[in-house]
């Protein structure tokens, strides 16, 4: 759990930043990621730039926001929790009575002690968020409401990292960083992603090229793909990809299928999860919600699954102030890191093998089989014999793993033993 603790510490550091789809919160977050992996490049795309059917919006900058009662006490303070302000709020500075105040306040009535996360990116409005409990207790009074924010022609910020491999075929790891102080959704995604990048950079050999993308959700992935020849290259090269979201709690593992659920990414993800956590949750593409939406859209058609611990929208703390640093844990983050690492290892090692003799080989003379035969003495070689039975040159490692019910990472050492004994060859 050493890596898990490091990832958790990074989340803690980035938690207070007030992220949105543009602005300094995104830049601070990217800067923290670059302290782990300096190779990440930062890109600024001007407001007004086209991104397929969309347009990069104005940049949002917020300095302060509060509500004071008639005694001048701050009853709500942006500096105490940045969820108190509706994302992309326009500025305001006026005095209102209780009835008017309530028009600007959003609560989560079914979770009365939680501040909800509310945004209004594409229509100018302002608003405050508080708990239902606070809302219900507001007395008749005169209130001063104040938001010091600004919407201006600035830019949308994203990060990119290409880690080259022997092949120009690519694996895409995408995650997002546009939510303010919430932990699972979303600090977990960028934090796990950057440690995966660090690990991949440390490897001496990589077959595939790895493309890491750090964007604001939706507008960010669309903007990223529409820049230069990004989409063209991705369509030509991406053979598998994952969108990381909500990968920090430790309640379950979840996977959101690609549009038709039939890509290499689906195959790998299911293969890995069935051994690590057989009760994992598999969601139809109809339950998508993060950037797998854009990567799988018609005409884009990239083989990108969603990967989560507890999936967005499926856990009660989602999109509220309850999604805090107590919800995620080093163990939860480590689990997600391990699954993604296994997925990458499976992909890197996924070859076809062919046994080199007719009939079963005589494992005994090579010390690979027990010399005495009695009921119950065969189990230790079952995996080897089962692997041999399906190493007929037609199946790749994932297919064999699925057939014989043994994880790929347990088959690899078996294959190595058989190669060393000249009993097995890789099929090109």
Would you tell me which residues interact with a copy of itself (CB under 8 A)?
Answer: 51-55, 86, 106, 108, 116-123, 125, 218, 221-222, 225-226, 231, 259, 285-286, 288, 293-294, 296-301, 313, 318-320, 354-355, 357-362, 364-365, 371-375, 385-386, 388-393, 403-405, 423
Query: 219 near 56, Cβ under 8 Å?
Result: yes
Q: Which CB, 38 or 359, lies closer to a copy of itself?
A: 359
Q: What is the spatial distance between Cα 176 and Cα 304, in angstroms, rounded to a whole number?
A: 14
Q: Which CB, 149 or 334, lies closer to a copy of itself?
A: 149
Q: Which segments within 195-326 are labelled E, that is strand?
A: 209-215, 238-244, 254-256, 281-283, 304-308
Minimum distance, C-beta of residue 275 to a copy of itself, in the bound complex (Å): 16
Helix (H, G, I), strand (E, B) or coil at 161: strand
Minimum distance, C-beta of residue 333 to a copy of itself, in the bound complex (Å): 24
Minimum distance, C-beta of residue 373 to a copy of itself, in the bound complex (Å): 5
Minimum distance, C-beta of residue 404 to a copy of itself, in the bound complex (Å): 6
Q: Which CB, 46 or 370, lies closer to a copy of itself?
A: 370
Q: What is the spatial distance between Cα 332 and Cα 338, in angstroms, rounded to a whole number?
A: 10
Q: Which CB, 54 or 280, lies closer to a copy of itself?
A: 54
Minimum distance, C-beta of residue 64 to a copy of itself, in the bound complex (Å): 22
Helix (H, G, I), strand (E, B) or coil at 117: coil
Query: 174 near 315, Cβ under 8 Å?
Result: no
Q: Which CB, 75 or 297, lies closer to a copy of itself?
A: 297
Minimum distance, C-beta of residue 106 to a copy of itself, in the bound complex (Å): 6
Of 250, 193, 240, 247, nearest in space to 398 by CA: 240
Minimum distance, C-beta of residue 119 to a copy of itself, in the bound complex (Å): 5
Q: What is the spatial distance between Cα 10 and Cα 29, in angstroms, rounded to a whole number?
A: 10
Q: Which CB, 3 or 305, lies closer to a copy of itself?
A: 305
SS3 readout for 84-115: HECECCCCEEEEEEHHHHHHCEECCCCCCCCC
Please state, as a whole number, how many other Cβ atoms lie within 10 Å of the Cβ of residue 404: 17
Q: Which CB, 181 or 218, lies closer to a copy of itself?
A: 218
Please state, as a whole number, how many other Cβ atoms lie within 10 Å of the Cβ of residue 48: 11
Q: Which CB, 165 or 361, lies closer to a copy of itself?
A: 361
Q: Which CB, 87 or 165, lies closer to a copy of itself?
A: 87
Q: Which CB, 193 or 294, lies closer to a copy of itself?
A: 294
Q: Which CB, 204 or 365, lies closer to a copy of itself?
A: 365
Cα angle vertex 44, ends 40, 50, to 5°?
Answer: 125
Minimum distance, C-beta of residue 357 to a copy of itself, in the bound complex (Å): 4
Minimum distance, C-beta of residue 369 to a copy of itself, in the bound complex (Å): 8
Minimum distance, C-beta of residue 202 to a copy of itself, in the bound complex (Å): 34
Q: Is 197 left (phi over 0), alpha (psi -120 to 50) or beta?
A: alpha
State the residue for tokens 């709020």. Answer: 89
Q: Is 324 left (phi over 0), alpha (psi -120 to 50) or beta?
A: beta
Q: What is the spatial distance between Cα 115 and Cα 99, in angstroms, rounded to a whole number?
A: 20
State the residue for tokens 């856990």. Answer: 315
In our burial notation (b when 16+ CB lie closer than 10 A, e otherwise), range 186-206 reads: bbbbbbbbbbbbeebeeeeeb
Q: What is the spatial distance between Cα 280 and Cα 229, in angstroms, rounded to a whole number?
A: 37
Minimum distance, C-beta of residue 362 to a copy of itself, in the bound complex (Å): 5
């Amino acid at each position: 759990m050493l890596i898990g603790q490091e990832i958790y510490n990074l989340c803690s550091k980035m938690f207070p930043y007030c992220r949105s789809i543009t602005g300094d919160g995104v830049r601070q977050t990217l800067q923290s990621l670059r302290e782990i992996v300096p190779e990440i490049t930062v890109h600024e795309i001007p407001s007004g730039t086209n991104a397929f059917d969309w347009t990069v919006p104005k940049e949002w900058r917020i300095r302060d926001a509060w509500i004071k009662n008639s005694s001048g006490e701050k009853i709500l303070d942006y500096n105490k929790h940045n969820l108190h302000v509706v994302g992309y709020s326009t500025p305001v500075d006026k005095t209102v009575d209780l009835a008017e105040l309530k028009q600007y306040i959003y609560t989560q009535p079914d979770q009365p002690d939680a501040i909800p996360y509310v945004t209004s990116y594409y229509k100018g409005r302002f608003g405050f968020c508080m708990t239902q409990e606070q809302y219900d207790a507001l007395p008749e009074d005169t209130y001063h409401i104040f938001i010091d924010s600004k919407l201006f022609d600035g830019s949308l910020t994203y990060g990119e990292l290409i880690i080259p491999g022997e092949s120009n075929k690519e694996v895409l790891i995408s995650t997002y960083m546009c939510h303010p102080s919430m932990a699972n959704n979303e600090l977990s995604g960028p934090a796990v992603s950057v440690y995966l990048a660090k690990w991949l950079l440390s490897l001496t050999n990589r077959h595939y090229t790895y493309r890491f993308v750090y964007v604001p959700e939706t507008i960010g992935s669309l903007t990223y793909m529409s820049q230069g020849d990004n989409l063209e290259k991705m369509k030509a090269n991406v053979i598998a990809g994952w969108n990381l979201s909500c990968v920090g709690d430790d309640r379950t593992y979840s996977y959101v299928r690609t549009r038709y659920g039939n890509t290499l990414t689906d195959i790998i993800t299911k293969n890995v999860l069935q051994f690590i956590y057989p009760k994992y949750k598999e969601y139809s593409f109809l339950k998508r919600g993060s950037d797998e939406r854009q990567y799988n859209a018609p005409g884009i058609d990239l083989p990108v699954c969603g990967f989560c611990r507890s999936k967005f929208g499926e856990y009660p703390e989602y999109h509220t102030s309850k999604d805090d640093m107590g919800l995620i844990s080093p163990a939860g983050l480590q689990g997600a890191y391990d699954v993604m690492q296994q997925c990458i290892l499976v992909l890197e090692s996924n070859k076809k093998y062919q046994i080199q003799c007719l009939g079963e080989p005589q494992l005994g003379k090579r010390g690979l089989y027990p010399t005495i035969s009695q009921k119950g003495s065969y189990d230790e070689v079952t995996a080897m014999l089962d692997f041999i039975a399906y190493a007929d040159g037609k199946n790749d490692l994932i297919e064999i793993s699925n057939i014989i019910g043994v994880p790929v990472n347990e088959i690899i050492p078996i294959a190595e033993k058989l190669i060393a004994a000249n009993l097995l060859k890789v099929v090109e």
